[in-house]
Amino acid sequence: MLTVRFELSNSRCFLFFAFLACTAALWRGPGVAVAQESNEILPLSQVRAGMEGYAYTIFAGDQVEKFDLEVIGVLDNFLGPKQSIILVQLKGPKVEHTGVVAGMSGSPVYLEGKLAGALSLKLGIFSKEPIAGVTPIQDVLNPPSQPPAAQAAPRQLGPPSDTSTRTALPSGSALEPIETPLVFSGFQPAALQQFASQLQGYGFVAAQGGTASPRADDARLVAGDMAGMVLVQGDASINSACTVTAVRADRVYLCGHPFMSLGDIQLPMARSRVVTTLSSNLASTKIVNVGGAIGTITGDHLTAVTGKLGAPPAMVPLDLTLSVSGAEPAKQKTLHFELVNHPKLTPLLVAITTFSGLTQNSLYGEGTTLHLSGEIRLLGHAPVRIENTFAPGDSLSPDGMPIALTVQNIFTRLFVNTFEPAKVDGITLRVESVPGRKSFVIESAWLEKGEAAPGETLRVRVLLRPYRGAARVEETTVRIPEQVARGTTLRILVSDADLLNRASRGFAFAGAGSGPTGLDQLIALLNRERRNDRLYVGLFAPAPTLLWDDKELPNIPLSQINVVDGRPTPGSVQVLRESLVSEASIPLGGPVSGVVSLNLQIR
């Protein structure tokens, strides 16, 4: 065994440890200076115009860089009552070249060597000087604990609008939150363009990026590093990126402004690695790769996003399988994604991910008929079954877009239910592509005779016009109920799925009027909706149907309607003038549209 002994004088010992400290600093990079900054904070009451200070952020790689700034003044009550902002001017060749950069929000600001706040706002567009707003550090470390209704309103979906429209201030003079880059990896710009208005309505700046392999030091965050929220991961990823303001034990404070004002949340937190900073006169932004998961985003409030280092929360698995009709099973492709489970985010994320996974795939081709099937598995409830067919259209919208919107609509209906949170265990989707455009229009329909007796079975013939094909006749039968009174006139509705859904469910089908009173009932209604690739023939009798919550009570006497109506909650009862007594359907393999109404006399 070899033993090495060192003997150092006090002066040599000091130089030796100084050398070790310098070596450690070089290994970590300039960011170590941030970690060694004083934890002492500077109260807002001590901030004065003319004070000079500095801030930290990353412009490229893992190198946390320092830039100077000067306090212009304090804007009291800017964000709201007792929510003030420090106005500063950034200085130095780099920030004067880039201006305030998307992704810089959360950069720690120091005045007199003390932590004073987080960079969070920017002033103006095409401004000649980089003017920014700083959220005071007391508000960052202690975000307002307001009830959800009192927090800043979340960004709503809607068409994009310019600054002057949103604020009613002269263009370029608004002090607004620094944009949060929403980094898309595995998504083509053409796919994102289809959802541009929704993304911009949320206030995001869509940016392309990539993924970085997890590192052992991902969770070793210091002020000035970058971290963010993971929304989608797997074969493609969507994440946001902000700068870390402070780390206190296992608590992380970043952004200096809300992500979406979601309040208390559970989203995965991941390390972000900056590739470079793109300088632009319109909007400079950081190009980043998402790194390994490092914990959970626990709060999204007015003055900061907060997180906790450790294990990330569970996400919702989505498996999307693509195949071509008639091809060998080996040629099908399955993509795997994981998405956050949140009512405001999941429906849009499912739509974007499904659309991109479908259209940015070698098995996908425009001009084909697409058959969608699958299920949404919910904890403690029956699964929601999905099945529909979509034919290519003549518009410039991609043929896969209706699939994305259909899935988004189903998830929206599940997540906005007022009964209980929808806890999604997993999503399985399958899209089969059939060459050619298969769609049908109902041109006419007729009965084999104009009258029938109770209990009789009657043939119904329907003339269908396929897309660019010869007309064809389909035939089915309807049976007249035994209890129908003689002399009654029945109505036979030959239609597509949507029109029969509306005729038999009224306003409930559109989400108004009577409806389910629980999640199980909502799932049952979703699973009962008819499929659009079938021709339907419905037989209606002139007897009222009472729709009460999710229950359909056909042929109910008027006396009973008068007794029931008014007793339940107002609006939970709907009365239809007809009752659907029977129906038949014919699968056609492509979407059906149109309607023909026929009268049948009972002799």
141-150 confidence digits (pLDDT tens): 987 654 433 3
Any domain includes 165 = no
Task: List alpha helices for 110-230, DSSP H.
Answer: 137-141, 163-167, 189-193, 196-201
Query: How far is Cα 491 from Cα 498, in angstroms, rounded to an integer?
Result: 18
467 in the same domain as 572: yes
pLDDT of residue 405: 92
Any domain includes 161 = no
Q: What would the pLDDT profile of 414-439 be if each residue is shown by its tens digit?
A: 988 888 888 999 999 999 998 888 99
Query: How many residues make up the chain in this entry?
Result: 603
Any domain includes 182 = yes
Q: Is the dihedral of CA 37, 38, 43, 48 positive or negative?
A: negative
> Please, which residues have CB within 8 angstroms of residue 149's CB and are 6 or more apart in sequence?
none
DSSP per-residue codes, 352-388: HHHHHHHHTSTT--TTEEEEEEEEEEETTSPPEEEEE
Residue with tokens 């239809």: 576
206 in the same domain as 63: no
495 in the same domain as 591: yes
> Please, which residues have CB within 8 angstroms of residue 194's CB and are 6 or more apart in sequence?
355, 397, 398, 401, 404
446 in the same domain as 594: yes
490 in the same domain as 451: yes
- Contact of 422 with 414, CB cutoff 8 Å: yes
583 in the same domain as 446: yes
* Cβ-based neighbour number of residue 69 at 10 Å: 25
pLDDT of residue 547: 60
* Cβ-based neighbour number of residue 491 at 10 Å: 15
Task: List alpha helices for 279-364, DSSP H.
Answer: 346-359
Rg, the chain, Cα only: 31
Any domain includes 16 = no
Number of structural domains in the chain: 4
- Contact of 433 with 322, CB cutoff 8 Å: yes
272 in the same domain as 206: yes
50 in the same domain as 87: yes
587 in the same domain as 444: yes
385 in the same domain as 272: no
Q: Identify the domain boundary among 309, 331, 351.
A: 309
Tokens of 383: 């699964």
Domain holding 189, by residue range, is: 173-309
Residue with tokens 């493609």: 236
Any domain includes 17 = no
- The CATH number of the domain where 73 resides is what? 2.40.10.10
305 in the same domain as 190: yes
pLDDT of residue 191: 82
pLDDT of residue 444: 95
Any domain includes 160 = no
pLDDT of residue 21: 39
Tokens of 377: 């598995």
- Contact of 592 with 530, CB cutoff 8 Å: no
Strand partners, 270: 228, 293
Classify burial at 481, counting beta carbons within 10 Å of its beta carbon; exposed 0-12, middle 13-18, buried 19 or more. middle
pLDDT of residue 510: 45
Query: How far is Cα 517 from Cα 62, in angstroms, rounded to an integer?
Result: 53
Positions in the chain whose pLDDT score sits under 50: 1-36, 146-171, 507-514, 568-571
Residue with tokens 């409030």: 301
Q: Identify the domain boundary among 291, 309, 327.
A: 309
pLDDT of residue 371: 93
pLDDT of residue 159: 32
Helix, strand, coil percent values for the chain (each to nearest 5): 20, 40, 40
CA distances from 18 to 9, 14, 26 (A): 14, 6, 12
554 in the same domain as 492: yes
Query: How far is Cα 586 from Cα 69, in angstroms, rounded to an integer?
Result: 72
Q: Identify the domain boundary among 435, 458, 487.
A: 435
Any domain includes 153 = no
Any domain includes 8 = no
